[in-house]
Amino acid sequence: MPELPEVETIKRQLSDKLVGMKILSIELSDKNMRFNPDKTKLKLLSQEKITDLHRRNKYLIVETTNLWLVFHLGMSGQVIVRGCKEDKQKHEHVTITLGKICLSLVDPRRFGGFAIYEKKDTATYEKIELFKNLGIEPFSDEYTLQALKELLKKRKQNIKQFLLDSSNICGIGNIYASEIMFLTKLSPFKSSEKLKPAQINLLYKNITKVLALAIEQGGSSISDFVHVNGQSGKMQDLYKVYSRTGQPCLVCNSIIKKETQAGRSTFFCPSCQK
């Protein structure tokens, strides 16, 4: 479930708990996920100290003295910290033991993944092979009005697909794309090159506004996503259009519509969004 705000929430919670801890061992389930670690690297984890946590797009990165441990939660993933004496959860595919607590990746649908990279091969995490096609991080200095303007002009996608395409701006998924377009009063079917300067300006602000609010709310817990300690996020209570098909628009009372676009549901107010 995780879009940028969910992964960012997990990252912040893990930073408080894990930095300074030492890894003792790692166990994998016998099922493969979308991407998987080179098994010969598993033994490198023993005695590694966790020094920092990072996020790139929807990937969570645990930095240790010599390694980058990369997690992706797919659609149904959870990264949780639990007592090692507790039983493994159903669909737990990665278990990293850190003394009395364990860091686990649980993912029923297995659209997520886990990988291990050595710093001696990849000096900065930005250079990790998995990240080579990623665009601009919305909370980085690279995210400027000018940069957005150029991307919108260069690409001729409709605006919904533009927002979902992580080679443009990173971290936006199906939920927050709908919310951003509603706030900007943009039809999801509008071509990215046809936006007026005022609309681009508003879109620029609303991308970070929606993502920042979602982070503040601890992300969205719709079906699977939970915090590191198992608690729920609160952003789902603030949706203006996502999953509100048939309900009245909170601005104009028109009925919210759902249509399929590029194989995904898009939610919008046909009267507010032009």
Q: Among all residues, which ones are annotated catalytic?
A: 2-3, 58, 264
Q: Mask 65-104, x = binds DNA (CB under 7 A)?
A: -------x-xxx-------------xx-------------
Considering the complex, state which of residue 66 and residue 89 has its C-beta at the smaller distance from DNA: 89
Q: What's the gap between Cα 234 and its chain centre?
A: 16
Contacts of DNA in 205-244 (CB under 7 A): 220-225
CA–CA separation, 107 and 128 (whole Å): 23
- Residue 216 has φ and ψ, to the nearest 5°, of -60, -35
* CB of residue 79 to DNA, shortest distance in Å: 13
Considering the complex, state which of residue 40 and residue 260 has its C-beta at the smaller distance from DNA: 260
Structure tokens at 227: 């915090």
Segment contacting DNA by CB under 7 A, of 10-18, 45-53, 106-114, 201-209? 106-114
Total of residues contacting DNA (CB under 7 A): 45
Structure tokens at 170: 């990173």
* CB of residue 65 to DNA, shortest distance in Å: 27
CA–CA separation, 219 and 211 (whole Å): 9
Kind of pairing between the strands at 67-72 and 78-83: unpaired
Walk across the sheet containing 67-72 and list its strands: 50-56, 59-64, 67-72, 113-118
Residue 262 lies near DNA (rule: CB under 7 A): yes
DSSP structure class, residue 109: T
Task: Name the E strands within the chain.
Answer: 25-28, 50-56, 59-64, 67-72, 78-83, 92-98, 101-106, 113-118, 257-261, 264-268
CA–CA separation, 159 and 22 (whole Å): 45
Considering the complex, state which of residue 1 and residue 45 has its C-beta at the smaller distance from DNA: 1
Q: Mask 6-35, x = binds DNA (CB under 7 A)?
A: x------------------------x--x-
Identify the sign of the CA torsion 121, 125, 127, 128: positive
Name 3's Cβ contacts closer than 8 Å, sequence gap at least 6.
58, 171, 172, 173, 174, 175, 176, 214, 220
* CB of residue 21 to DNA, shortest distance in Å: 27
* CB of residue 203 to DNA, shortest distance in Å: 17
Considering the complex, state which of residue 90 and residue 100 has its C-beta at the smaller distance from DNA: 90
Q: Which of 38, 49, 65, 109 binds DNA (CB under 7 A)?
A: 109
Q: Mask 146-175, x = binds DNA (CB under 7 A)?
A: --------xxxxx--x--x-x------xxx
Nearest to 1 by CA among 162, 221, 178, 238: 221
Q: Mask 126-145, x = binds DNA (CB under 7 A)?
A: ----x--x------------
Residues that bind DNA (CB under 7 A): 1-3, 6, 31, 34, 57-58, 72, 74-76, 90-91, 108-111, 130, 133, 154-158, 161, 164, 166, 173-175, 191, 220-225, 258, 260-265
